[in-house]
Amino acid sequence: MGNMTSLLSVSLLLNGPNFGGELPSSLFQLKNLIYITIMSNLGKDWSLPTNAQVGDDTQLEQIVLVRNNFSGAIPSWIAKLEKLQTLDLSMNNFQGAIPEAIGDLSSVKYFNLLGNNFTETIPSSLGKLPAIEVLILGNNALQGELPASIGNLQTLTLLDVGSNMLTSTIPSSFANLKSLSKSYLY
């Protein structure tokens, strides 16, 4: 795949019992690639490469990996995708912690981890996402408190942290969320 230098978009529907495995790291190094969409592939376990070498000239704006059997952790190299606007990893089997480095995604507007197996705390670095409009972390097993830093997200319109194992009250900084029109905190 790394030789497909003119490729702008990748959409895969490989729904069969033998499809799966690690996505090739070369896919994330294609300089002209803008969109990656892999949906409803329920075969073998899928995973993201642990160490893709992402350059400053990467144009990737959208990664949508919805309703697959992706597992493992979210690799920290994703935070180096400076032009990424949509990161949707919902309805998979990702686990562990949400990487602190995700707070470096300065262009991300839509961030969705709904229906995975994340078990650690919500990183306070999510409060550094200046363009975020939709933040969905519901239906996981996230623990601890809601970070007060989420109150810094002036462009946030939807927040879903429902159906987790959070133990805190709503931080007073949430009063700063002037653009928030929908929230799911139950």
Backbone angles phi, psi at 154, to 5 degrees: -65, -25
Contact of 123 with 97, CB cutoff 8 Å = yes
User: Per the domain annotation, does 109 fall within a domain?
Assistant: yes
User: Per the domain annotation, does 2 fall within a domain?
Assistant: no
> What Å distances lie between residue 171 and 16, 122, 158, 159, CA to CA?
45, 14, 16, 14
User: Per the domain annotation, does 3 fall within a domain?
Assistant: no
What does pLDDT average to in each consecutive run of 10 residues of the chain (186 residues)?
Answer: 71 65 87 88 83 87 92 94 97 96 96 97 97 98 96 97 92 95 89
User: Per the domain annotation, does 69 fall within a domain?
Assistant: yes
For residue 9, the model assigns a pLDDT of 79
Which domain range does residue 108 map to? 9-184
User: Per the domain annotation, does 4 fall within a domain?
Assistant: no
CATH number of the domain where residue 161 is located: 3.80.10.10
User: Per the domain annotation, does 17 fall within a domain?
Assistant: yes
For residue 139, the model assigns a pLDDT of 98
User: Per the domain annotation, does 108 fall within a domain?
Assistant: yes
Structural domains counted in the chain: 1
User: Per the domain annotation, does 1 fall within a domain?
Assistant: no
